[in-house]
Amino acid sequence: MSKELTYLDAIREALAEEMRRDPKVFVLGEDVGAYGGAFGATQGLYEEFGELRVVDTPISESAIIGVSIGAALRGYRPVAEMQFADFISCGFDQIVNQAATLRYRYGGRASVPIVVRAPSGGGVSGGLYHSQNPEAWFVHRPGLKVVAPSTAYDAKGLLKAAIRDDNPVIYFEHKFLYRRAKGPVPEGDEIVPIGVAATRREGSDATLLTYGAMVTPSLEAADRMAKDGVEVEVIDLRSLLPLDKAAIFTSLEKTSRVLVVHEDVKTLGLGAELSAMIVEERFDHLDAPVLRVTYPDTHAPFSHVLEAANLPNTDKIVEALRRLAAY
Amino acid sequence: MPPIKRTKFKLSPEQLLEMFYWLKLIRAFDERLSILVKQGKVRSGVYTGIGQEAIIVGTCYGLRKEDYICPLHRDLGAFLMKGVEAKVMMAQMFAKDTGLSKGRDSALHSGVSELGIFGNTSMLGANLPVAAGLGYTFKMEKTDNVVIAYFGEGASNVGDFHEALNFAGVQQLPVIFICENNQYAYSVPVEKSMAIDDVAIRAEGYGFDGVAINGNDVLAVYQATQGALARARGGDGPTLIECKTYRWHGHSEHDKAFYRTDEELAMWKSRDPIPTFTTYLRARHVLDDQKQQDIEAKVAATIDEALEFAMNSPDPKPEDAVTDLYA
């Protein structure tokens, strides 16, 4: 049985179901209580579960994450909401130094099962501090897991997986997709495992690696390429740490060409790691350099004219795919 | 600021002698570590709390197993009093596989969840939001267990301090914040880092009581802690206790502490918490020569045994540099 849900409703449903299933799950963050969250992701939870398990916090990102870590050490599974992924920098130390290192420095004798939900991404005229894609910061930190769903189905299934995971998981939910991404979502306990990519379109001529809000323009670009006889395999990574290396390598061994598309900036974005990893481990299979379509190395401007100039889109992806195919 | 209600307490001679034992053991442990650093046997990461022992003994004495402590980098004694064996702490200082962190990090950056000990990072004050989270779980469970969180006056200038105390105040959490005001944040004297005399008054800004006491008087610390414990266990929320004290050694064992005068050090050494308490015990005939000798012999044997264990323990295996990152 499945039903049509938006990406945002899928998140809300995952939270509600996990809270019903496990009394140790609770949510905390700014405006998550009676207000239901800045985007409505926690709507209805306060009424159903009460203020002890749906905690309105002060504007204190570091405390939100630190409190989550403390609760996790006592067996709870807190889901902390950063109102915007941009604000996660205010809680950075608690994530990268406290949560990420804890198991290691405890000699493997403790774990930190927290989820940090981070509404990320542009295309919503959010400007500098409501548009960021800071996933690479966290992919760079051992001890964390990082996921970024692109569909309603995955939004639900990956959030459930993140909540049940015993490690700290940073869950990047893309704001552009909240109401635009709509699709079938299974009723009940469908888990999307962390670390497993999804092939969204099969093809034999090039591999396109992407995630989050870039999946849709990537698929559009692949359709356009098909009209020219170039079949592009589109892989939605879903999990950025750990990466599904097997899926990536299997595809490129078939296609010998790789394009990475992400909304994060270029320098040391995930594409840099993907490219280095592919060149290091599968150089012999490549017929072309690994190309990237990314945000330029700049900030997210407010003007929609400026922002549109920065965002990767179908045209930019098609252009890169043509270069890749012609190489 | 309203004064904290004085709590009457009665300690039996046996209990007073236990406190005396802990004071002596913690002092002896740190003194031995200091020598081991000079001998090059312990490499680094030694931050002694010599001169500050009364704070640890006065706050930890009589805690329940279920209570949680969040010590700072000088509080090795708190680990001992909460139940970690001396030999395990010594192995930790020697970076041995038998230490708490299995050689992953130095000093006190490890914890033991089953004993209710949280180990902080090097980011001072970062333990305080975690302490609030631990306290929040006690509130959710409606138990009367308490969290004791330690920090220096230096850490009271960090954002995490304010976020944590504010959260604890708003949520009325059973957390006791113990400030070990030892006058220096590494080399910076208190008057250069705060425009106030007492850290204790910061509590008022978060809606609960703070009190400044003589941190070198173990019974004064014990009495203030008992008062705060009674409040916290009774659901009346947090308390801040500022213990005025002084660290005899430098910030770490490699710091010669040239930034302070011999006179100042001599003045504080004349307030050594151990002779003060010894005089008290002897005047009340709780302690005599024989008992003191027995206790000192027990302390020496414990340290020697711990040292032997640590020195004979295996180093961690090289391959364990990359394990225990994920649960």
Domains detected in chain A: 2-186 (3.40.50.970), 198-326 (3.40.50.920)
Task: Kindly provide the b/e burial profile for residues B81-113, where b requires at least 16 CB atoms within 10 angstroms of the residue's own CB.
Answer: bbebebbbbbbbbbbbbbbbbbbbbbbbbbbbe
Local confidence band at B6 (pLDDT 50, 70, 90 cut-offs): low
Q: Which residues contact B142 (CB under 8 A, 6 or more apart)?
A: none
- Range of weakest confidence among A44-58, A210-224, B99-113, B266-280: B99-113
**CA of B322: which chain A residue's CA is closest?**
A104
Between CA A235 and CA A222 the distance in angstroms is 11
Q: Which of A251, A256, A157, A174 is nearest to A215 (CA)?
A: A174
Task: Give the tokens for residue B215.
Answer: 């941190």
- In chain A, count H helices and then E strands: 12, 14
Tell me: the pLDDT tens digits for A267-324? 999 999 999 999 999 999 999 999 999 999 999 999 999 999 999 999 999 999 999 9
Measure CB to CB from residue A104 to each of B131, B139, B324 and give the nearest one: B324
> Any idea what DSSP says for residue B295?
H
Q: Share the mean pLDDT of chain B.
A: 96
pLDDT score at B95: 95
Mean pLDDT of A247-254: 98
Beta carbons of A71 and B118 less than 8 Å apart: no
Contact (CB, 8 A) for B242 and B59? no
Residue numbers in A near B126 (CB within 8 A): 66, 93-94, 97-98
Beta carbons of B140 and A94 less than 8 Å apart: no
Q: Is the pLDDT of residue B4 over 60?
A: no
Mean pLDDT of A69-77: 98
Residue that the structure tokens 């009367």 belong to:
B144
Q: Is the pLDDT of residue B28 over 80?
A: yes
- Looking at B234-270, list the stretches that DSSP marks H as alpha helix, in order from N- to C-terminal side: 262-269
Tell me: the pLDDT tens digits for B78-110? 999 999 999 999 999 999 999 999 999 987 899
Tell me: the pLDDT tens digits for B147-181? 999 999 999 999 999 999 999 999 999 999 999 99
CATH topology classification for B13-283: Rossmann fold (3.40.50)
Measure CB to CB from residue A63 to each of B99, B122, B167 and give the nearest one: B167
Between CA B106 and CA A9 the distance in angstroms is 46
Instruction: Say if residue A242 is preceded by a cis peptide, omega within 30 of 0.
Output: yes
A130 carries an active-site annotation: yes
Residue that the structure tokens 């892989």 belong to:
A235
Instruction: Give the number of C-alpha atoms closer than 13 A to the C-alpha of residue A308, restricted to the C-beta side.
Output: 5
DSSP secondary structure string for all residues of B272-283: -HHHHHHHHHHH
pLDDT score at B5: 54
Q: Which of B263, B220, B262, B268 is nearest to B245 (CA)?
A: B268
Strands B239-244, B188-189: parallel, antiparallel or unpaired by DSSP? unpaired
Mean pLDDT of A91-95: 98
Q: Is the pLDDT of residue B7 over 80?
A: no
Q: Is the ipTM of this complex over 0.90?
A: yes
Q: Exposed/middle/buried for A190, CB within 10 Å: 0-12, 13-18, 19+?
A: middle
pLDDT score at B1: 42
Interface list for chain A against chain B, based on CB atoms closer than 8 Å: 26, 52-53, 55, 57-58, 60, 62-63, 65-74, 76, 78, 93-94, 97-98, 101, 103-111, 113, 142-143, 145, 166-167
Tell me: the pLDDT tens digits for B42-69? 987 799 999 999 999 999 999 999 999 9
Mean pLDDT of A136-144: 98
Q: Is the pLDDT of residue A180 over 90?
A: yes
Q: Which of A65, A85, A305 is nearest to A175 (CA)?
A: A85
Q: What is the pTM of this model?
A: 0.97
Helix axes A152-164, A7-21, angle to 10 degrees: 30
Local confidence band at B136 (pLDDT 50, 70, 90 cut-offs): very high
Beta carbons of A66 and B164 less than 8 Å apart: yes
Tell me the residue length of chain B: 327
Between CA B32 and CA B37 the distance in angstroms is 9
Tell me: the pLDDT tens digits for B233-266? 999 999 999 999 999 999 999 999 999 999 999 9
Q: Share the mean pLDDT of chain A.
A: 97
Q: % helix / strand / coil in chain B, to the nearest 5?
A: 50, 10, 40
pLDDT score at B2: 45
pLDDT score at B45: 78
Beta carbons of B129 and A66 less than 8 Å apart: yes
Residue numbers in B near A73 (CB within 8 A): 111, 113, 118, 130, 133-134
> Any idea what DSSP says for residue A43?
T
Measure in Å the smallest separation between the Cα of B67 and chain A Cα atoms.
Answer: 12
Local confidence band at A2 (pLDDT 50, 70, 90 cut-offs): confident
